[in-house]
Amino acid sequence: MTKIKKRFACNECGYVSGAWMGKCPECNSWNSFVEEIISNNVDVSHSKDNKETQLPVKIQEVQNLDEDIFILDNDNINIFFGSGIVPGSVILLSGEPGVGKSTFLFLLAKYIKRSKKIYYFSGEESVNQIKKRFDRVGASDSSLFVSNISQVEKINEICQKEKPMFVFVDSIQTCFSSEVDSAQGTISQIKKCTQILIDYAKMSNAVVIIVCHVTKSGEIAGPKIMEHMVDVVTYFESDYKNQFRILRSRKNRFGNIDEILVFEMKENGLDIIDNPSSFFIESENLEDSSIGKCKCVIIEGKRPVIVDIEALVVPSAYPMPKRFSEGIDVSRINRILAIIDKHLNENFNNYDVYTNISGGIRTSDIGIDLAIAVAMISSKKQKPIKNDNVFIGELSLTGGIKKVNQIEKRIKEAMRFGLNNVYYQDEKNQIKGIIFLKDYFQ
Ligand SMILES: [Zn+2]
């Protein structure tokens, strides 16, 4: 009878322990230990360290990477990564299973210049399945090579020999190292595989893109530890209607964070949307009005995006009224409700409040405060707002409206779409606090 051996690894730093621990002695994280099963059949044939010893290089002789950044045939993707993709960088492409991570890789392949060799290692699908999907995307003239190898030492060996400029690994959960004695997808495995891929990228100057499955509830281990290790972390979000995808950069050593790429899900794959503003607002007559809905211009990355803020305020049947919010932090909603109560004498104590941003986009831009307040008051009082009215501003606890960053850029975007009535705060303090809404809703 074989006894199953177990150990525990820290999700934050990869520290391994024989017993579960509440606090990691290495990085001091709490409740970060995850169980790993140790397998007995370890293939030790590859255990030797095959990394070449590299001597330090004279600084003048180090290549200047900025000059040969990989520019793709798609400006949106170039902007998303900074101003192209930096050679030798390691990019993490994370998101829930089925959200479109592999499809995005095909899209990238389509926009990578034909002269650049791409090696795609997939432990998720057979090469025939990959071929089918690849044909659908219509990237047929790129130099993409596919393989089902998922042992990281072999991937490393092949790449060192064949020298592709791009290496896609799909996914880190199916990848494994023969030097680690736990199963695929465990923290120890993920850490080791990621390290080997990073070493390869730095040594060869190739771009390595690693697909990583995560779930909202975080029951898949490992992604956190990878985030510390790689250069760029991107995350796929999808809306509740499954109609579009947002790829967001959460970490980027070479560019802006919170940069977004917006895609529409089509039958043949993902379509990049050049103009997110036109996508997030409903097409409507600007002369008309709506109740419980108004516009705001948020900044995502470097990009201004027009969104509709929607609110529904209804009498509550509960002793504790509901606060339900999609895309906006509920604590923010509560704060705005308190400000309205105090400074406009308008309370929502006996009302359920639902808010969301059109298209299911999520934002942490503080410039949406004013628009949320306006949408909620409009819904409660059943007062319409004209469709060309835009509200931009952060609310202060004292009832003031604060100027937000990049206001000129936001106003310009609104004007571009014919939204000519923009309410915002500027240096001259044009709006004397939230009290102006009293007149507005008269
Ligand atoms: Zn730790």
Distance 31 CA to ligand 1 centre (A): 9
Report pLDDT for 169: 97
Report pLDDT for 47: 43
Report pLDDT for 94: 92
Report pLDDT for 68: 76
Phi, psi for residue 133 in degrees, rounded to 5: -70, -40
Distance 30 CA to ligand 1 centre (A): 8
With b for 16 or more beta-carbon neighbours within 10 A and e for fewer, the 66-84 pattern comes to eeebbebebebbbbbbbeb
407 contacts 271 by C-beta, under 8 angstroms: no
Distance 48 CA to ligand 1 centre (A): 27
Distance 175 CA to ligand 1 centre (A): 22
Span 209-228, pLDDT tens digits: 999 998 766 556 677 889 88
Report pLDDT for 389: 93
Distance 224 CA to ligand 1 centre (A): 11
Report how far apart, in Å, the C-alpha atoms of 78 and of each of 109, 209, 256, 381 are: 13, 15, 12, 46
Packing angle of the helix pair 152-162, 187-204 (nearest 10 deg): 10
Distance 32 CA to ligand 1 centre (A): 7
Distance 220 CA to ligand 1 centre (A): 17
Distance 364 CA to ligand 1 centre (A): 28
Q: What is the mean pLDDT of the chain?
A: 87
Span 277-323, pLDDT tens digits: 777 777 777 788 999 999 999 988 778 889 999 999 999 999 999 99
Q: Which of 8-17, 124-133, 266-275 has the lowest mean pLDDT?
A: 266-275
Distance 133 CA to ligand 1 centre (A): 39
Report pLDDT for 171: 92
Report pLDDT for 65: 56
Span 144-178, pLDDT tens digits: 999 999 999 999 999 999 999 999 999 999 999 99
Nearest to 303 by CA among 281, 272, 264, 276: 276
Distance 150 CA to ligand 1 centre (A): 27
State whether residue 217 is helix, strand or coil. Answer: coil
Distance 187 CA to ligand 1 centre (A): 11
Distance 121 CA to ligand 1 centre (A): 30
